Amino acid sequence: MGWFWKFTNSSIGKKLVMSITGILLIIFLIIHLAGNLTLYWGEKAFITYAGTLELLKPLIRIIEVLLALVFIFHIINGVRVWWGNKKSKPIDYKINAKFKNSSIFSRTMIQSASIIFIFLVIHLDTIWYPYNVGTGAENLYGIVTSLFAIPLYSWFYIFAMVLLGFHLNHGFQSAFQTMGWNHKKYFPLIQKIGTIYAILMAVGFASLPIYFLYFHGR
Amino acid sequence: MDEKKLNIKLKIWRQSGPNTVGSFVDYNVSISPDASFLEMLDELNNSLEKNNQDPIVFESDCREGICGTCGMVINGEPHGPLRKIATCQLHMRNFKDGQTIWVEPFRAKAFPVIKDLAVDRSAFDKIIQVGGYISVNTGGVPDANSIPISKEIASEAFDSAACIGCGACVAACKNGSAMLFVSAKVTQFALLPQGQPERQKRVEAMVAKMDEFGFGSCSNTYACEAECPKGISVVNIAKLNHEYRLAKIKSKNVEV
Amino acid sequence: MGNINSTSKDFKLNSKVPEGPIESKWTNHKFSLKLVNPANKRRYDIIVVGTGLAGASAAATLAELGYNVKSFSFHDSPRRAHSIAAQGGINASKNYPNDGDSTFRLFYDTVKGGDFRSREANVYRLAEVSGNIIDQCVAQGVPFAREYGGLLDNRSFGGAQVSRTFYARGQTGQQLLLGAYSALSRQIHLGKVQMFNRREMLDLITIDGAARGIVVRNLLTGAIERYSGHAVILATGGYSNVFFLSTNAMNSNATAVWRAHKRGAFFANPCYTQIHPTCLPLHGDNQSKLTLMSEGIRNDGRVWVPKKKGDNRPPNQIPEDERDYYLERKYPSFGNLAPRDISSRSAKEVCDEGRGVNGGEAVYLDCFDAIKRLGKKAIEEKYGNLFDMYQTITGENPYEVPMKIYPAPHYTMGGLWVDYNLMSTIPGLFVLGEANFSDHGANRLGASALMQGLADGYFVIPYTIGDYLASHKFTSISTEHDEFKKSEEEIKEFVKKLLSIKGKSTVDEIHKKLGRLMWNKVGMARNEKGLKEVIGEIKTLREEFWKDVNVVGKAEDLNQTLERAGRVADYLELGELMATDALNRNESCGGHFREEYQTDEGEAKRDDENYRYVAAWEFENVGKWNLHKEQLEFEFLHLAQRSYK
């Protein structure tokens, strides 16, 4: 299997890992958002949703492990790509004209990713951990709504989701390009879908803290 | 032609050798707007020589945008602010009177500076040498018309083959990636029937060589396409990704 | 570097043209050539200087055969050679369009186009192998233009009434060179070619009268390096840069051939220079070079000037009946596709009459008729990149405003004299491509340079060099041989001298002066008085150079001024030889137009009785040459006055 490691360590192989894990995360986000949106239907709906997941616990645990692996690969590999690329360009230009030849979303993947990573840690620590590991009987709805009542928490959440949108806007089409799926007919469409998807994800997720912070129960 | 001359303030990177520290040096020139950018540098060099100063080293040859020898970063962009031209085709009429222009060499780990604005791009040759060809000896080939190729495919292959090997893609890329250059050659041969026998071997060898030189990974910013003097499309890079992936899965090569 | 070799005034040039009917000369000759046993080929080292079409194709092919090749280029990469800039196409007598082409017709057109000043047997061989070149290039993956059915497309070019030009948009030279470069790269990878980039050949080493090595300057470090071999091939291109302003690349130069000439290789027909009719006109003093528009554009373009002198209206306001389509008027059967020398001279004529654009040195060229006939898209597909280039340089849109063009030095038919085997007068020194004189006579037809470069490299030299190697006994020679040492000393002395003058003129200033002298008096039209004057003026300029040039920088460093200075020093000698040759040739033929020798209609008037020869000049000393003549026999074609009417 030496060839396989060489493959995944090659410049293209590393990107391919980013692409595959990225696509999986794109799918995960859709499901996650769909679940989260049940919050809008109130406590009962949300608890029912959480309860359904509870019923599938063994399966969910397996998925969670896989998901964690996907995240880890995506993150570690992303850092490796970034670090390697930095070494490939040891000196930058005095005059920066990058805004003329590339989009800001594509150039700031590592920055958006860093914020999203911090968010992810906080997210797991404040929601996933108390619910799954804490007392074991926490009310998920309660956890979420009380967190969203904290303005700082919510604002960081919103900020991270905007950056998630940035990240996805580039990442979505980039995943297709890296897989080699760039066709004159379909690629412009993929780019549009990517942007729409990125906006939907950012707005969808960020709408919850906004709702709970400013509109819920008033 | 008594056109008004442009007064330009230049800040040019000077570096006496590969291992020395360089810096920007200021020059003022007054130049006809019809002159090309390199002619402006010729004139500056001529006046430096008149004053017994070392002229600025920069490379150029055909001055028609086809040989790929010239290349410098002008105000942050390889080959300057205009699209789809090489430095030699840039004319001074595209600058304003009194403008300051920063001139820097192409930057990338794999393109070390030789002197002033000249960089070493020999890595490109070495990548081609491991597989950027169709292995046919002279003589004994079939009649040219025995291999029909559709006009569209021939035209697409040409689009890829139009690469002049100037290295602007590497210079423009924030990752110093050579994927546009490599993908153009891989795509040209992957499209043509003549390229099929060595299709997998070629892409595997060329990518391995590219990595060996320390070119970066493509992160799809597409700056390369924007700055390419021949407008080589990033669709080539997608094709390269595809070719490489399939080659890795299908080929029986366990070495590279 | 002024030694004279074994040659002398009584030296008899032997073209070694084989006997027999023209169709079988090459076939018979190939059979009679000695072969080198496949296992022995690796014992021979061949030096190839230059990596353009001729050099790269020769190096690759010889390496494929098994020889050890050392390939040299002054560029950073072999792919930069100036063949890359050839736009229009490559001729081959494939007769794919079924319009009556044949080997004989290509042969005939080329000899006639060259105004009957080329060697019949060489030209026939060129036509004979032309088809193989296309096959070879297609096999290498060169993306030639194709028809919808998938077969190769052809266009027509100057001097021919058939469509035999294969092309890859307007970048045929690039694609063919990349083909040869890829073949070369493969051999480098296989270890059969050792590639030496950034090396400029400064001397040829001859030992016992034969070429055995070269001395080069490493352009990065300034180090003088020596390389030995059993044979040396020069494929270093032409010398149009004598004119300073030409369509050649900035670094194209004559140094390799000139230093070989000074070591004993005869220089043939130096006055045969081609002025290309369709270049962009001059814009100002600081211009560094002239840009060519492929003459392929003459297929669909019409060249004209206003009928009236002083008609300075913008071109689109000059009505159709007040335009003079002078090529169509003077040469109704060839029209805008008249050969290059004729087209260039006609442009000069109308401009001399004061009918040029705004009375200056430019004529109009537009494709409006073709756009009307075929649609803008079709024209864009054919010439899009040329039009873009025009617009970039001039800032004018050629789809709407007629382009301005004017002739410019472009190609040199003259070069080192070679026999049928492409060997110069120095045994073991072979010369290919534009660097030799052999195939184009006094004028080259469009799309024939690419053909000749590749014919020489792929299909001629691999056979003929084997014969030379197999029929000679070689002693082994090390680069410590006295001749190498002596040469290195001489070069170092030469460099030291250049750097020590510290005068007031820059290298470019002197080069520009030389260029103006050459353009005015050894350019499109020449006369006895001007030539006599210019010889003196060049001598004076040469003295000025050696007294007053200022070459800054060091010898042991990347020093571009020093590189140029060495080249200009050579041009200052070569320029004089060009004028000397032009003065000697009391006739007009092809690109050599002597004003004293023209018909009543102003056409070139040859003197077949007295000048039907190749003028091969033997170097004796700077400014002194001996003339040797190779009589040209026309056994298969009838000598005729060229007519394109």
Is C549 strand, coil or helix? strand
- Which parts of chain B have pLDDT scores under 50? 1-2
Overall size of chain C counted in residues: 645
What's the confidence (pLDDT) of residue C539? 98
Per the structure, the count of domains in chain B is: 2
The chain-wide mean pLDDT, for chain C, equals 94
Confidence (pLDDT) at B109: 97
Q: Is residue B171 part of a domain?
A: yes
Q: Which of B109, B152, B174, B237 to mutate to test the interface with A (most CBs of A within 10 A)?
A: B174
pLDDT in tens, chain A (218 residues): 789 999 999 999 999 999 999 999 999 999 999 999 999 999 999 999 988 988 998 999 999 999 999 999 999 999 999 999 999 999 999 998 999 999 999 999 999 999 999 999 999 999 999 888 876 556 889 999 999 999 999 999 999 999 999 999 999 999 999 999 999 999 999 999 999 999 999 999 999 999 999 888 76
Is B174 in Cβ contact with A98 (below 8 Å)?
Answer: yes
Task: For chain B, say whether C489 makes contact (Cβ under 8 Å).
Answer: no
Listed by start position, the domains of chain A span: 14-87+103-215
- CATH number of the domain encompassing residue C328: 3.90.700.10
Pair C511, C365 in one domain: no
Which residue of chain A has the CA closest to B74?
A95
Q: Is C445 helix (H, G, I), strand (E, B) or coil?
A: coil
Q: Which CATH architecture has domain A14-87+103-215?
A: Up-down Bundle (1.20)
- Give mean pLDDT, residues C261-281: 96
Provide DSSP, C61-90.
Answer: HHHHHT-EEEEE-SSSSGGGSGGGG--S-E
Contact of C282 with chain B, judged by CB distance below 8 Å, is answered with no
At C284 the pLDDT is: 79
Active site residue C340: yes
Nearest to C141 among B32, B38, B188 (CB): B188
In a domain, B200, yes or no: yes
Q: What is the pLDDT of residues C207-242, one digit of tens each?
A: 999 999 999 999 999 999 999 999 999 999 999 999
Say what the pLDDT of residue C600 is. Answer: 83
Lowest mean pLDDT among B69-73, B159-163, C369-373, C380-384: C380-384
pLDDT digits (tens, 9 = 90+) for C32-49: 999 999 999 999 999 999
Q: Which pLDDT tens digit goes with each residue over C335-352?
A: 998 888 889 999 988 998
The stretch C483-504 carries a mean pLDDT of 98
Domain termination residue (choose one: B115, B140, B165): B115
Chain B CB within 8 Å of residue A6 CB: yes
Q: What is the CATH number of the domain that holds B24?
A: 3.10.20.30
pLDDT tens column, C64-101 = 999 999 999 999 999 999 999 998 899 999 999 999 99
Band (pLDDT 50/70/90 cuts) for residue C5 is very low
Same domain, yes or no, for B101 and B128?
Answer: no
User: Do C503 and C570 share a domain, yes or no?
Assistant: yes
Identify whether B1 is part of a domain.
no
Q: Quick check: is B256 in a domain? A: no
pTM summary value: 0.95
- Kindly identify which residue of chain C lies nearest to residue B93, measuring between CA atoms: C395
d(CA C379, CA B162): 19
Chain A contacts of B77, Cβ < 8 Å?
Answer: 97, 100-101
Asked if residue C440 and residue C365 are part of one domain, the reply reads no
Domain assignment present for residue C217? The answer is yes
3-state secondary structure of B143: coil
In this structure, the answer to whether residues B92 and B175 fall within a common structural domain is no
Distances in Å between the Cα of A211 and the Cα atoms of A43, A120, A155, A159, A203 are: 14, 21, 12, 15, 11
Domain boundary among B63, B86, B115: B115
pLDDT at B256: 63
> C100-146 pLDDT, tens per residue?
999 999 999 999 999 999 999 999 999 999 999 999 999 999 999 99
Residue C553 belongs to a domain with what CATH number? 1.20.58.100
- Identify the CATH number of the domain in which residue C250 sits: 3.50.50.60
Lowest-pLDDT range of A55-69, C352-366, C383-397, C558-572 = C383-397
CA atoms of C363 and C177, how far apart (whole Å):
32
Q: Which residues from B are below 8 Å from A87, CB to CB?
A: 109, 214, 216
Chain B residues within an 8 Å CB radius of C181: 128
pLDDT given at position B215: 98
Same domain, B139 and B226: yes
Dihedral (C-alpha) C380, C381, C385, C390: value to the nearest 10 degrees? -20
pLDDT of residue C643: 76
What is the residue range of C357's domain? 276-408
Give the CATH number of the domain where residue B131 resides: 1.10.1060.10
* CB contacts, 8 Å: A180 with chain B: 238-243, 245
Residue C14 lies in a domain: no
B31 inside domain: yes
**pLDDT for C42:** 96
Residue C393 shares a structural domain with residue C522:
no
Q: Are residues B97 and B146 in the same domain?
A: no
Is any Cβ of chain C less than 8 angstroms from the Cβ of B238?
A: no
In a domain, C533, yes or no: yes
Is residue B126 located within the same domain as residue B237? yes
- Asked if B25 has any chain C CB less than 8 Å from its own CB, the reply is no
pLDDT of residue B1: 42
Over residues A82-137, the pLDDT tens digits come to 999 999 999 999 998 999 999 999 999 999 999 999 999 999 999 999 888 876 55
Same domain? B138 vs B245: yes
Looking at the DSSP bridge assignments, the partners of residue C631 are C613
Chains B and C form CB pairs within 8 A to the count of 219
Of the candidates C202, C252, C206, the one whose C-alpha atom is nearest the C-alpha of residue C223 is C202
Q: Residue C134's closest chain B neighbor by CA?
A: B144
User: Which chains touch A (3+ CB pairs under 8 A)?
Assistant: B
Residue C281 confidence (pLDDT) above 70: yes
Q: Is A104 helix (H, G, I), strand (E, B) or coil?
A: helix
A175–B contact, CB cutoff 8 A: no
pLDDT of residue A199: 98
**B103 and B214: one domain?**
no
Residues B95 and B110 grouped into a single domain: yes
Q: Which residues of C touch B122 (CB under 8 A)?
A: 76-77, 197
Contact C337, C159 (CB under 8 A): yes
Report if residue B255 sits inside a domain. no
Question: Is chain A touching chain C, with at least 3 CB–CB pairs below 8 Å?
Answer: no
Residue C564 has pLDDT above 50, yes or no: yes
In a domain, B102, yes or no: yes
Mutate: best of C181, C498, C560, partner B, most B CBs <10 A = C560
- Kind of pairing between the strands at B23-31 and C231-234: unpaired
Structure confidence at residue A218 (pLDDT): 64
Q: Do residue C591 and residue C506 come from a single domain?
A: yes
How much is the average pLDDT of C297-301? 87
Residue B6, strand partner residues: B31
DSSP annotation of C576: H
Which among C525, C456, C517, C481 has a CA at the least distance from the CA of C50?
C456
pLDDT at A136: 57
Reported confidence tier of residue C3, pLDDT bands at 50, 70, 90: very low
Same-domain status, B103 and B52: yes
Of C590, C621, C33, C587, the residue nearest C272 (C-alpha): C590
- CB nearest to C286's CB, from B39, B68, B188: B39
One domain for residues B51 and B127: no
In a domain, C193, yes or no: yes
Query: What is the rounded CA–CA span in Å between residue A164 and residue A122?
Result: 15
Is C79's CB within 8 Å of B125's CB?
Answer: yes
Q: A interface mutation test: which of B111, B241, B242, B251 has the most A CBs within 10 A?
A: B241
Do C316 and C265 lie in one domain? The reply is no
B126–chain A nearest CA distance, Å: 17
Q: Are residues B102 and B166 in the same domain?
A: no
**Structural domain range at position B243:** 122-250
Choose the catalytic residue: C302, C340, C444, C526. Answer: C340
Claim to verify: residue B128 and residue B102 sit in the same structural domain: no
Q: Which long-range contacts (CB under 8 A, 24 or more apart) does B212-215 make?
A: B213/B110, B213/B123, B213/B126, B213/B127, B213/B178, B214/A87, B214/A88, B214/B109, B214/B110, B214/B176, B215/A11, B215/A88, B215/B108, B215/B109, B215/B110, B215/B123, B215/B170, B215/B176, B215/B177, B215/B178, B215/B179
Q: What is the pLDDT of residues C392-424, one digit of tens each?
A: 888 899 999 999 999 999 999 999 999 999 999
- For residue B157, the chain C residue with the least C-alpha distance is C143
Tell me if B217 and A12 make a contact (CB, 8 A cut-off).
yes
Say what the pLDDT of residue A135 is. Answer: 65
Give the chain B residue nearest C219 (alpha carbons): B114
* Chain mean position to CA A19: 13
- Out of C136, C250, C286, the one facing B61 most closely (by C-beta) is C250
CB nearest B125 (choices: C77, C458, C506):
C77
Contact list, C174 vs chain B (CB under 8 Å): 66, 162, 164
The answer to whether the CB of B70 falls within 8 A of the CB of C251 is no
What pLDDT sits at residue C282?
87
What integer pLDDT is reported at residue C364 of this predicted model?
A: 96
CB contact, 8 Å: B136 with chain C?
yes
Residue with tokens 């707007």: B33
Count: domains in chain C: 3
